[in-house]
Structure 1
Amino acid sequence: MAQHIPLGVIEGFFGRSWSWQQRTDLASFLQQAGYSYYLYAPKSDDRLRSRWRQDWSQSEWANLTTLRDHYRAAGIEFGIGLSPLDLCTPEGQTDSAGLHAKIARINQLQPDILALLFDDMRGDIPQLASIQVQLAHQAAEHSSARKIILCPTYYSDDPVLEKVFGTRPADYWEALGRQLDLSIDIFWTGPNVCTEHFSGSHLRDVAERLGRPPFLWDNYPVNDGAVKSQHLYLHPFAADRAKIQDLVAGHAVNPMNQYQLSKLALASLPYAYRDPGYNPKRLFNELIRELCPANVGDALQQDAELFATTGLAGITSERRHLLTARYRRLGQQSAMATEVADWLEGEYTFDPACLTD
């Protein structure tokens, strides 16, 4: 079955950020792997979030411009994810000028995609769907991007969203679907914020609610939460990803804080979409050989299940010490091994304070 929907990576995680060099290097990796776009939306960039009205510094703007140029040269579409965190509140709704000014600045990057992200903000606001539709339509009117994607405040059926962001307004998803222009896609993470498996029945139900097929925001292999930061997810995407392409408008992957280690999972998704015989277990063996030096690959194959299921909290201090020593030695051959050793030593420990940045 041939791939026919856009596949991409959205850098949208909390915690330790990727470097500009890593973001730049990702362009060639995505091109070789079979992805078509990249969305720049790191939680650490406050000019896209808490201080979204403010401009980037000269050096940050230069980095963004260079990043855009690398993706364009690689034939990968470049996108920006804007999170105007207060714009849905009664105080913020009058600031359409601020939104238009920010989009005008983003237009200077000539992005192919603009994502308007309303996640991570209070949602118990009257007429929330209508407010967000109005803002999305304004964004579409003022943006030069060819594609607009909206992330709702409630982007999953997961009850944790109402626990954190307040009670979801009645008829929220249906109102979005009715009012939002059909040219604008809607992100969806599945039945859970971090969904392990997607079913056809769930995706068809969501499409009915949203009035269009959902654009998947896939929170695998991301590991930025208090619990998930205790784990590394190296295995390929599950076999269900090979069965959903007729039910989604697109697929965006949110990777791990560990840039190099993310490549193992990232490399697998295009296979799922183009290979009718997609076999994650067999593919993992192939990707290990392709992406890792032999000794490093052997170690990761041996420890991948331990890292994914047991995690740091379940590994004894003695075993952690032995594993750290092993991966420090292997780090002389591979940056992947260095990332494992750093993780084992707590250098990726999740800081809840980053949620408020």
Structure 2
Amino acid sequence: MISRMPENEGSLLSPVPQAVNIHEDGFALSPVVWLVTGMDTPPAALLQVETALYHAGVKEVEIRSTPPEGGIAATAMPVVIYMGKFLENQTVSDALDLLGATTAEGFHAEGYVLAAGSTNSGTHMIVLAGMDENGIFYASQTFSQLIFKKDPLGWIPSVTVYDWPSMPVRGVIEGFYGPPWSHEERLNQFSFYSKHKMNAYVYAPKDDPYHREKWRTPYPQDKMAEIKQLVDAAKRNHITFTFAISPGNSITFSDDSEFQKLINKAQAVWDIGVRSFALYLDDIDPALRFPKDKEKFGGDHNPSAAAQAFLLNRFNEEFIKTHPGAKPLITVPTEYYEEGTSPYRERFAALVQPDIIVQWTGIGVVAPSIRVKDAQCIHGIFQHPLLIWDNYPVNDFDRNRLFLAPLYGRDAELYKETEIIGITANPMNEAEASKIPLYTMAEYMWNPTGYEPEESLQKSLLEFSGGREMNALRLFVESCYGSLLNNHKEPLSLKLEPLMDAFWKQKEKRAIGAEANELLHQFLELKNVPNQLQQLGNSNFLRETEPYLIKLSLYGAAGEAAVQLVLMEKEGDASQADTQRVILESLVEKLVSIPKKLSLSAMNSFINRVLGHDALNEGTKADSPAPTIY
């Protein structure tokens, strides 16, 4: 059964576990806690648990390799925590049995059991048992969410959690055009991913010159040092770091010296710890350009597919399969979003070795929906494992927009299709703002059947804000909400339109009262959003979103001026009406000067009606992007 803690007892668990049973009782942590670990306990999980205990007020954590004298039910310590693999660590298995939390059948890789309760002899026990090291790590993440801070020490409910990921690969691909993330932003992202049980990151920023344009050129020493730091950080956070190269625009597929440069590029990052690789062939002109390639592949049924398959297979044979520990090669074909089959797709499928993973965006570059039937169809065409490259919340196709809404439009049953091995989300150039929708995507990837978009968004905002200025943050998110995935939904417009209709109806009937006041209140809230969000202390988020916040505030001020203008005209005060008109026109000029777009079409209509002309007519919809060929 899936249940949740009462909201007054703490934040909701995220991602939503597969099965949770939380009882009304529980126990307080003791000043000294014993932490019994085994050789199978990963350091990151140990650190996570220690940190959570100290934050809860525990004074000392005594780490031991054996249970208390007298056995796991002994009362030597008030609270004892056991960590390890439940299939290999007998002490952990015995502790689970003592708490009545026997391991369930059908556990997947990365699954875990978390149990907390009291024995008959009065010992308080907590067990964090994983199928593997990742499972133990994820159990530690859930444990940190279960502790509630109470004076003087933290408190944990009696609970049993059976949990595992629905999708094997869950993560993010930094695959957008435009300014890549900074080194510090990437490191910060890794901490966020691990907290939300994502296990994959693909390094593929289109405008990193050494990834695409200068793929032959080795990374400078300082950049290579940064990549090594990222690889090491990914390992600490139980994230697979995939290094991608996009040579398709300029490589001679059949040239041995070109291939050697590709090998050299891969070997350099292998030497610093990379074990997962991708060769990308998206957004390129598929036509063969060089005489050697035309001579070698020109007679094939589909020359471009033949050339690409030759390169992929050769890299797979001569690099991936000669490096023990390398993960399966990943690629993106040139036709990665179209519906149905084609000569290119059929030839690509026939020639590319079957163990190579193919990425697919769904139907469309930004797919409004990704359905089971579409996945089945595309897998039937490619006949390769499919990894979804989900182009949400990416905004490189419209750099004047933020996409902050939760994930919509992905079938809950996708994970049941064995051909789908997972999802990598392509985020926005704005790294910090991306965390708001990525939170919801992480929840979907882990447990699609337990995913509810709006509920997930609410939890995301709670975490992002730390519970501060939640209303202001939600107003801002709802002003950057509409996308192809939610049919351009505008929650703020839906909220404002009935108030505006009531305002106009009362204007025609009699003096305006409560209707005007209600609109003024709503506009004041919009105007104050930037000042309120300053209280979050998130300077990176404020820097990234500054022009959008300014525009939202201007909309609020313009709405106030518009209402006042109507009121002055109703009262016959021509002088004050003229003053408000000047103020409103000035605000409109400022609004028009900011190219950033918000999901606020109702405001445009309202202001235009007050002024009597189309002063504001910017589009608010995010059009489906066409692939850019470079």
With structure 2 as the length reference, what TM-score do the two structures score?
A: 0.49
Q: 1:75 aligns with which of 227, 238, 248?
A: 238
1:164-196 deviations in Å (ceiling 9; x for gaps): xxxx9x521122222222211001011100112
Partner of 1:53: 216
Deviation sequence 1:306-333 (CA, Å, 0-9, x none)? 323389xxx9xxxx9x968742662352
| 3-state DSSP of counterpart to 1:48 | coil
**Change over 3 Å in CA distance of 1:69–1:200 after alignment to 2:** same
Q: Give the CA deviation at 1:35.
A: 0.7
Is 1:301 aligned with 2:474? yes
Query: 2-side partners of 1:118 and 1:191: how far apart?
Result: 18
- 1:185-224 pair list within 5 angstroms: 185-224=357-396
1:105-162, Cα deviation, whole Å (9 max, x unpaired): 2322332321111112101345111211111122223144312101111111179xxx
The answer to whether the aligner puts 1:339 opposite 2:514 as a matched pair is no
Structure 1 residues not aligned, in runs of 5+: 160-167, 350-354
Instruction: Report how far residue 299 of structure 1 moved.
Output: 2.0
| 2:427 pairs with 1:255 | yes
Supply the distance in 2 between the matched residues of 1:74 and 1:257 (Cα, whole angstroms): 22
Distance 1:34 1:13 in 2: 23
User: Aligned runs of 1:117-266 on 2, under 5 Å?
Assistant: 117-125=280-288, 126-140=302-316, 141-143=318-320, 144=323, 145-157=326-338, 170-225=342-397, 228-238=398-408, 240-247=410-417, 248-266=420-438
Deviation at 1:31, TM superposition (A): 0.8
Tell me the distance in 2 between the aligned counterparts of 1:258 and 1:297. 20
Equivalences for residues 308-323 of structure 1 within 5 A? 308-309=481-482
Instruction: Give the whole-Å Cα distance in 2 for the aligned partners of 1:174 and 1:297.
Output: 51
| Aligned match of 1:114 | 277
CA distance in 2, matches of 1:239, 1:264: 17
**CA positional deviation for 1:244:** 0.8
The secondary structure found in structure 2 opposite 1:249 is strand
Call closer, same or farther: CA 1:39–1:157 in 2, change over 3 Å: same
Task: Report SS of the residue matched to 1:181.
Answer: coil
Asked whether the 8 Å contact 1:217–1:251 carries over to 2, the reply is yes
**8 Å contact from structure 1 (residues 221, 234) kept in 2:** yes
Distance apart, 1:295 and its partner CA: 4.6
Residue 43 of structure 1: SS of its match in structure 2?
Answer: coil
Q: Give the aligned partner of residue 35 of structure 1.
A: 198
* 1:100 match: secondary structure: helix
Q: Aligned partners of 1:109, 1:120: CA distance in 2, in Å?
A: 29
> Structure 1 CA distance, aligned partners of 2:249 and 2:349?
23
Distance 1:334 1:113 in 2: 33
Cα distance, 1:199 vs structure 2 = 1.2
Decide whether the 8 Å contact of 2:404 with 2:434 is kept in 1: yes
Contact 1:83-1:118 within 8 A present in 2 as well: yes
RMSD: 3.1
Q: Does the C-alpha gap of structure 1 residues 156 and 89 become closer, same or farther in structure 2, counting only changes over 3 Å?
A: farther
Cα drift, residue 89 of structure 1: 5.1
Q: Which residue pairs with 1:352 in the alignment?
A: none
Equivalent-residue separation in structure 1 for 2:470 and 2:256 (angstroms): 52
CA distance in 2, matches of 1:116, 1:286: 36
Q: Please state whether the residue corresponding to 2:470 is helix, strand or coil.
A: helix
Q: Is the 8 A contact 2:361 2:367 kept in 1?
A: yes
**Cα distance in 2 between the residues matched to 1:284 and 1:90:** 45
Specify the SS of the correspondent of 1:78. Answer: strand
Asked if 2 retains the 8 angstrom alpha-carbon contact of 1:158 and 1:193, the reply is: no
Aligned twin of 1:165: none
Deviates more, 1:330-339 or 1:146-155: 330-339
Q: Give 1:292 shift.
A: 1.5
Equivalent position SS for 2:228: helix
- In the alignment of these two chains, the number of paired residues is 335
Q: Judge which range, 95-104 or 24-33, deviates more.
A: 95-104
Shift of 1:12: 0.7
For 1:327, the equivalent position in structure 2 comes to 530
The letter for the 2-side match of 1:334 is: N
Aligned counterparts of 1:134 and 1:110: Cα–Cα separation in 2: 27
Normalising by structure 1, we get a TM-score of: 0.84
Cα distance in 1, alignment partners of residues 440 and 411 from structure 2: 10
Of 432, 457, 472 in structure 2, the residue corresponding to residue 284 of structure 1 is 457
Q: Distance in 1 between matches of 2:310 and 2:596?
A: 39
CA distance 1:184–1:127, shift in 2 (3 Å): same
CA distance in 2: counterparts of 1:127 and 1:106, whole angstroms: 31
Rounded to whole Å, the distance in 2 between the matches of 1:289 and 1:134 is: 50
Taking every aligned residue pair, what percent have the same amino acid on both sides?
A: 26
- Structure 1 stretch 204-213 or stretch 170-179: which is displaced more? 170-179
Structure 1 distance, partners of 2:187, 2:199, is 15
CA distance in 1, matches of 2:286, 2:528: 47
| Equivalent AA in structure 1 for residue 442 of structure 2 | P
Q: Which has the larger radius of gyration?
A: 2
**Does structure 2 retain, via aligned residues, the 8 Å contact 1:88–1:132?**
no
Q: Taking structure 1 as reference, are residues 90 and 34 closer, same or farther at Cα in structure 2, changes over 3 Å only?
A: closer
Distance across 2 between alignment mates of 1:269 and 1:90: 36
Q: Is the 1:239–1:279 contact (alpha carbons within 8 Å) kept by the matching residues of 2? A: no
Asked if the contact 1:331/1:338 (under 8 Å) is kept, the reply is: no
Cα distance in 2 for partners of 1:191, 1:234 equals 22
SS at match of 1:147: coil
Which protein has greater RCO, CA pairs closer than 8 Å, 6+ apart? Answer: 1
Shift of 1:43: 1.6
Matched-pair contact (CA < 8 Å) for 2:469–2:532: no
Q: Counterparts of 1:147 and 1:328 in 2: how far apart (Å)? A: 49
Indicate conservation of the 8 Å contact 1:223/1:257, yes or no. yes
**Residue 164 of structure 1 corresponds to which residue in structure 2?**
none
